[in-house]
Structure 1
Amino acid sequence: MNGVMKPPLKFKVVIPARLGSTRLPGKVLRALHGRPVIAHVWDAARASGAEQVLIATDDEKVAAAAREFGGEVRMTSSSHNSGTDRVNEVARMEGWADDVIVVNLQGDEPLMPPALLRQAAALLAEDPIADLATLAHPLHSVEEFLNPNVVKVVGDRRGYALYFSRAPIPWKRDGATRDKPLLPEGLAFRHIGLYAYRTGRLAEFSALPPAPLEDCEALEQLRALANGLRIKLGFTDNPPPRGVDTEEDLAFVSAALSRR
């Protein structure tokens, strides 16, 4: 048998989980089929094949709830501006080597397919020059393409992200108008907010100041692109359903779990 066997994929998952939320206060602890939202996120992470799954929070209520369902918790600073910074603190706290791959799974994504966590980690493991990896899926709806809450991404022919935007990108020059927009089939992709990092690069990223593009679009990943970091893009036809940001989302997720 020819060829060299690939080493087994090794990665960790950190779930940043803060209690404060403007749109749905306390959402990670909201009841979902008799368990808190964060418990379902923990289940998804554990099913991904990760070596270790940690919940990172600055709130003792979240920590207590997590310990009750068997979650492993790390208490982090309350001063972090993003989940990425919280993940970085955990990586430093644990003393993980710079080449350890860690996946950042948001604490409000109870329906995240475990296979996508593994896919993001594998993308990074297989590309030594990538600094981080993330995922996207094709858009087939003009409504989603125009929705500023749906983040779009375009990539280059090597599979690296060129730009992320809340605007509809790329825009068809011929035939599309503001009143009659057209979906550029095969070119329009929605970004999935799931990231894999090497911990050394994660530390560098967290130390960078916010970039003007990041502030403009309110998209943290633009800080990486503005500073020349390479973001590897993976694609899937099995995107995660919506996360939990509103009461409507909570009802949707509850119904989705009932159908499983």
Structure 2
Amino acid sequence: MHFTVLIPARLASTRLPRKPLADIGGLPMVVRVAQRAASSGALRVVVAADDAAIVEACKAHGVQAVLTRVDHVNGSDRLAEACALLGLDGDDLVVNVQGDEPLIDPQLINACARLLVERPDCVMSTAAHALHAPDEFTNPNIVKVVTDLAGRALYFSRAPIPWWRDGYAQGVTTLAHPAPLRHIGLYGYRAGFLRRFPQLAISPLETIESLEQLRVLWHGERIAVHVAEQAPGPGVDTPADLERVRAIVKQNTP
């Protein structure tokens, strides 16, 4: 199984300025992400950056990086350009690891890549885990996914799905069985589809939910979903998240 990990990294961030370069235990965050990804079975790990400062920080720590345009609307467009720069196309496998996931499990990366090998009917793969907390189920910042019998995504939503008939009457103090699935923002792609994705018309569902993956389903393509046994380590969106991850790294560093 040969695949490439691509890590999109954008210097501008409203909640955490210069986030990819934030120090975590003496290393820039994006470098920590790349090092975790390198522990997977990836043939290579490449950071797709929008600023020379990120590229230089990566090179200083032996991480391959490519400089992409600054005007990309989203991460998928940046990854598509990176695929072109690296000569990836057709059935070449790419796993997109977000640049703010310094605690990403390498085995989860492998699972997304393996799923694409096993599921030739799907152009993408992603991951999810069982959700057990009612407050997370109703939180619009936590994306949920429902799947079909074959483990392919039927829909992603910020709304609590699936919803049982008497849910409102009971109050959301308990969850339906089987447990709903929380989407994990990790994606595997066939490179040919990833390069084609930016040319696809934007879906109205994507616009309503602010979920880019709905464009894939809207155009009739399929996404395979790996259900992990547990939740991944926390990502970094805010200064509070950064401090939490710093504490975890410090605790686990010999």
Please confirm whether the aligned pair reaches a TM-score higher than 0.5, indicating the same fold: yes
Would you say 1:231 and 2:223 are equivalent positions? yes
SS of residue paired to 1:254:
helix
CA offset digits 1:185-227 (Å, max 9, x no partner): 3240000000000011112222112211111111000111111
SS of residue paired to 2:71:
coil
Q: CA shift at 1:174, angstroms? A: 2.5
Q: CA shift at 1:181, angstroms? A: 4.9
TM alignment of 1:149-168, pairs within 5 A: 149-168=141-160
Q: Which residue in 2 is equivalent to 1:89?
A: 81
Would you say 1:36 and 2:33 are equivalent positions? no
CA contact (8 A) 2:134 2:172 kept: no
Q: Which residue in 2 is equivalent to 1:20?
A: 12
CA offset digits 1:69-102 (Å, max 9, x no partner): 1111111111111111111111111222311000
Q: CA shift at 1:252, angstroms? A: 1.0
Q: Which residue in 1 is equivalent to 2:251?
A: 259
CA contact (8 A) 2:112 2:226 kept: yes
SS of residue paired to 1:177:
helix
Q: What is the identity, as a one-letter code, of the residue corresponding to 1:241? A: G
TM alignment of 1:111-126, pairs within 5 A: 111-126=103-118
Q: With the length of structure 2 as denominator, give the TM-score of the two structures.
A: 0.96
Structure 1 residues 219 and 175: CA distance shift in structure 2, 3 A: closer
Cα distance between partner residues in 2 of 1:172 and 1:95: 47
Q: With the length of structure 1 as denominator, give the TM-score of the two structures.
A: 0.93
Alignment RMSD (CA, Å):
1.3
Cα distance between partner residues in 2 of 1:48 and 1:172: 38
Deviation beyond 2 Å, 4+ runs, structure 1: 174-182
Q: CA shift at 1:175, angstroms? A: 4.9
Cα distance between partner residues in 1 of 2:115 and 2:86: 23
CA contact (8 A) 1:170 1:187 kept: no
Q: Which residue in 2 is equivalent to 1:190?
A: 182
CA offset digits 1:227-260 (Å, max 9, x no partner): 1110001110132122111011001111221232
Identity of aligned residues (%): 46
Q: Figure out how many residues of one structure are paired with residues of the other and give that number.
A: 252
Q: CA shift at 1:172, angstroms? A: 1.4
